[in-house]
Amino acid sequence: ALRGGLLEPQDSESREVKDLSGMWRFRVDHRGEGLARRWFAAPLPPPTQAMAVPSSYNELSDDLLVREHVGLVWYERECFVPVHWLTSRVVLYVGSASHHAVVWLNGHKVGEHEGGHLPFHLVLDPLLLAFGKANRLTLAVNNTLTQTTVPPGIVQTNAAGRRVQRLQMDFFNYAGIHRRVLLYTTPATYLEDISINTRLEGATAHLNVFVSTIGASSILITLQEAGGAVVARGRMPPDPRRGGRLSVSEPRLWWPRYMSAHPAYLYTVIVEVLGADGNVSDVYRLKFGIRTVSVRADSGFLINNVPFYFHGFGKHEDSAVRGRGLDLPLLVKDFSLLGWIHGNSVRTTHYPYSEDFLQLCDETGIVVVAEAPAVGLQAHNMIRETLVRHLETITEMVARDKNRASVVMWSVANEPDSEAAAAEIYFKHLATHTRSLDASRPITFATFKNAEKDVAVQHFDVIMLNRYHAWYTNTGQLDIIPTLLQRDLLTWRRTFGKPMLMSEYGAECIAGMHALPPIAFSEEFQSEYLAQYFEVFDQLRNFGMLVGEHVWNFADFMTSQGVTRALGNRKGVFTRDRQPKLAAYTLRQRYESLANST
């Protein structure tokens, strides 16, 4: 279980960070022998190869058996630890290792973590560290998904005797070290975690600040404007339950883009932790946007008490060569395209995205529905063992992302079998747990089931619907979309009376294929397909029933092989290398007019 917080490592007066990204030594454990042969006890036995960290390893080899490997791979590198770190806590941060990782330092196991999309921090025992010398860091990373992992999958043995991973999700099971690996320090008296809740009362914002610290005598909190001016300051005792309060009159609010001429305003919260001697021991800075979120059945989704309409995308962390590896140029490109197309929101389908992604959302006013990595749960997966892991991954997601202004809603799952009897109690647990961690944000999950039979939606605040009328059924019959969609949405509305977000709709298009009249897989078809949904969206939006629309998908992405997937899923309005299809222009026109009408 998570202990302490998941504060992102940072440099400050009291902290140092060393980036271990780069080339590591790497070996695929084809025979599953590494653990028994104690590959961690000495440098990895040859043959090893160079491997880029961060990246997925799957697309970096010419060998199909590497791409489709199921099981362990090994990463190893040396790192120097400065002598002056002797007086600090030294912590290893791994941003994401898919799916399960075990870590050794100089041959000694220092920890492990399960879950491929959230970071873990391991405090390194000073007795195991060689200060002023080289240390050997070894990670064994396992990509196996089973019936009780989150997300679930099944491993089978094929006719050639090879293990193959069957997935319950429509994206490639990229694996490896996907985000940064860092060493960082904190002083012995330090900030472990911080949470800030915002309340708006007239023209005043009240920030309730809760911190957890180790060894502190008191804590100083300062709120700074972007320009550096101090607007509020307070001292609080080191009691994590009591918290302190900062009040700001006439604050500059964090607004989504298009809702204000100056969106995405961020203050800086500076936390200073004082030790027993009364001196400042630790300093940590948090960029923080002041905003509130609420949901009302009649008026929809409110940000700062003003109705907000989502127009954006489901996405993936996915690109050629790098797979799911953190790719800063790609992030910059994607945000440029989001701007070009006038999008204002993203759901982090189907797992938590990198801190870098969320930071850009905070800074540019892109609103986020943050999703847990629970995709494709079937009835037989909804058992205690899965639930424990599922709750834990939600705990970690909320711990990491709770202070993000851009994150306005938690999604606990995508397309579970929410008509199964087991889903009722299973999803009730998820809802109760998520609310207990964060009462300030609405909760949801994406359903692809029917209003009459869904037993899970009742426990949530917003209904997210994934719909593919005239694609997976009645393929090509564009004319049936308005009728079926309207009937469908009105049934959900009548049954639950909750705000709805169209969280997925879309059709495949192989860029460069054309057909007039429009038929499936052509640019014209995808474009026309999206347009068929717009009229119904507008009707329901005007009644406050629909709070947004997210196209599936922002860009083409890799999936496992199958006869319905030609080198992956082609529902992107951009290609995998981020060039626009015809549908991107259609969507741009709509999103621009939505942006102008807010």
- Using CB under 6 A, list all residues that contact ligand GCB: 170, 350, 414-415, 448, 466, 504, 552, 569, 571
* Residue, CB closest to ligand GCB: 170
Residue 457 CB, nearest approach to ligand GCB (Å)? 16
Residue 71 vs 416, nearer CB to ligand GCB: 416
Which DSSP letter does residue 160 get?
T
Q: What does the DSSP assignment read for 323-349?
A: BTS--HHHHHHHHHHHHHTT--EEE-T
Q: Name, in order, each residue with C-beta under 8 angstroms of 564's C-beta and a sequence gap of 6 or more.
A: none
Count Cβ atoms below 10 Å from residue 39 Cβ, excluding itself: 20
Residue 469 CB, nearest approach to ligand GCB (Å)? 12
Residue 415 among the catalytic residues: yes
Out of 192, 371, 415, 508, pick the active-site residue. Answer: 415
Whether the Cβ atoms of residue 359 and residue 328 lie closer than 8 Å to each other: no
Whether the Cβ atoms of residue 134 and residue 80 lie closer than 8 Å to each other: yes
Residue recorded with tokens 């362990």: 72
Residue recorded with tokens 């579970």: 416
Distance CA 173, CA 561 (A): 11
- Whole-angstrom CA distances from 546 to 439, 471, 506, 542, 558 are 23, 22, 17, 8, 30
Residue 511 CB, nearest approach to ligand GCB (Å)? 16
Closest CA to 430 of 458, 450, 408, 401: 458
Residue 569 CB, nearest approach to ligand GCB (Å)? 5
Whether the Cβ atoms of residue 536 and residue 489 lie closer than 8 Å to each other: yes
Residue 415 vs 461, nearer CB to ligand GCB: 415
Closest CA to 365 of 499, 446, 206, 253: 253
Residue 496 CB, nearest approach to ligand GCB (Å)? 20
Residue 301 vs 351, nearer CB to ligand GCB: 351
Residue 14 vs 381, nearer CB to ligand GCB: 381
Residue 319 CB, nearest approach to ligand GCB (Å)? 16
Residue 99 vs 449, nearer CB to ligand GCB: 449
The sheet carrying 17-19 orders its strands as 17-19, 181-186, 89-94, 120-124
Residue 14 vs 447, nearer CB to ligand GCB: 447
Distance CA 593, CA 590 (A): 5
SS3 content of the chain, % helix, strand, coil (to 5): 20, 35, 45
Whether the Cβ atoms of residue 182 and residue 18 lie closer than 8 Å to each other: yes
Residue 213 vs 414, nearer CB to ligand GCB: 414
Residue 92 vs 558, nearer CB to ligand GCB: 558
Whether the Cβ atoms of residue 71 and residue 157 lie closer than 8 Å to each other: no
Residue 76 CB, nearest approach to ligand GCB (Å)? 34
Closest CA to 369 of 303, 320, 321: 303
Residue 509 CB, nearest approach to ligand GCB (Å)? 12
Residues marked as catalytic? 415
